[in-house]
Amino acid sequence: LYMLRGDTKQSLLSSLYGYCKKYWGLILSALIGSYLGVSLLLILNEGYLKLAMGVLILLYVADQFRQRPLQISASLRNMLIFGLLAGVIGGATNAMAPFLMMYLLSTQHSKTDIVVISNLNFIISKLIQLAVLYPVIQQFSHIQFKVLALICIISMLMVYIGSLIRKQISQTLFKQIVFTLLGFMALYAIAQGLFIIQTSPALLI
């Protein structure tokens, strides 16, 4: 919620309303995609999903080294396509951010817009995951709940630190950092996917 205030001159609700009104297509399709993604997670081997995600991200990062990298128009159709894709991948692999970043960077959005829109869709994805996976979460042990709480606390701290860093860097440096992180995430997802497939090669659970 702290990251959803894109304009410091506006209240949180006003800022949130403005982004929802402008990017409703992206948000709605991500909501639907998240539900589909979580449903896929229950029937498909996660390894194949991670492998596909890693390959797609790596292709996008490699494309940025071309003289004329991929540019996407900020149309409603593209919002729906990338929102649905980000939602499905995010719901199935818990990694919505890469595909949202790919869309938002390719449509030349500002770093503030990228952060706010990404976090707004992230919250929606988490709510869907909590709703669908609630029976599974109820079976967590006491230690697992402690680990989950620790991860949440560390994540919130990193979000705050990240917001401070974002204010101090230029748009160009921000994009370079994001591209670098996307590259590392792609390689990690591919390695993780291959390991899972090697351990359990079946496509369906």
Which pLDDT does position 164 carry in this prediction?
83
- Nearest C-alpha neighbor of 23 from the set 86, 88, 91: 86
Q: Confidence class of residue 1 from pLDDT cuts 50, 70 and 90?
A: low
CA gap 68, 170 in Å, rounded: 22
CA gap 196, 201 in Å, rounded: 8
Which pLDDT does position 118 carry in this prediction?
83
Q: Are 116 and 19 within 8 A, CB to CB?
A: yes
Q: Within 10 Å of residue 103's Cβ, how many Cβ atoms?
A: 24
What does pLDDT average to over the chain?
84
pLDDT digit string (tens) for 57-79? Answer: 898 888 888 888 878 888 889 89
pLDDT at residue 195 above 90? Answer: yes
pLDDT at residue 114 above 90? Answer: no
- Name the residue type at position 63: D
pLDDT at residue 197 above 90? Answer: yes
- Name the residue type at position 189: A
Cα atoms found within 13 Å of the Cα of residue 136, Cβ hemisphere only: 9
Strand partners, 204: 44
Q: Tokens in use for 39?
A: 């449903």
22-26, 57-61, 67-71, 138-142: least confidently modelled range: 67-71
Q: Within 10 Å of residue 157's Cβ, how many Cβ atoms?
A: 10
pLDDT digit string (tens) for 144-186? Answer: 989 989 988 998 898 888 888 888 888 889 888 888 999 999 9
Which pLDDT does position 8 carry in this prediction?
62
Q: Confidence class of residue 20 from pLDDT cuts 50, 70 and 90?
A: confident
Average pLDDT, stretch 39-63? 87
pLDDT at residue 9 above 80? Answer: no
pTM: 0.77
